[in-house]
Amino acid sequence: MEDQTPSGREQASPEVRRRVQDSFDRQGLMAHLGARITHIGPGRVHITLPCRPEVTQQHGYFHAGATSAVADSAGGYAGLTLFPEDSDVLTVEYKINLLAPAVGDRIEAVGSVLKSGRTLTVCQLEVYGVHDDGSRKLVANGQQTLIRVNRPAP
């Protein structure tokens, strides 16, 4: 039986979850923004960013830079879940469309692998504005290409 979250989403193995979380914890930008991983599944990662003045723009919406950064990281870590233990990942390119002003109590970026290859992997990126009442709206979507690289020696 697959390891499932209470919502029914498949979880990655404990080893993969630990590897992804350890890498995420070393990202200065994600820590600076206040982002956190909320789901790690095979080929799928969710990252949540709470709303606070430091991540908004002049009209009070989430800043496109913060929105893009969490989307990029969600896709990168989604790809990493499918790579061997000795691998790491770098973004080659990504494009994001901002569909609506990003409002809510938080945004949730969802990275999903569309095609995992030996060298290049393509991911879908989605970002939702989420309110505490559970309502959510798609505010950005995009696509990303990742390259698998050997993990640098410690």
Distance CA 71, CA 142 (A): 8
Q: Residue with structure tokens 């789901």?
A: 39
CB 72 within 8 A of CB 143: no
pLDDT in tens, 3-21: 444 455 799 999 999 999 9
When comparing pLDDT for 2 and 53, which is higher? 53
pLDDT in tens, 59-85: 999 999 999 999 999 999 999 999 999
Distance CA 16, CA 64 (A): 30
According to DSSP, residue 4 is labeled: B
Is-above-0.85 flag for pTM? yes
Q: Where are the domains of the chain?
A: 14-150
Considering Cα of 144, then 22, then 11, then 69, what sign does the dihedral take?
negative
Distance CA 147, CA 154 (A): 20
- What topology is assigned to 14-150 in CATH? Thiol Ester Dehydrase; Chain A (3.10.129)
Q: What's the pLDDT score for residue 113?
A: 98
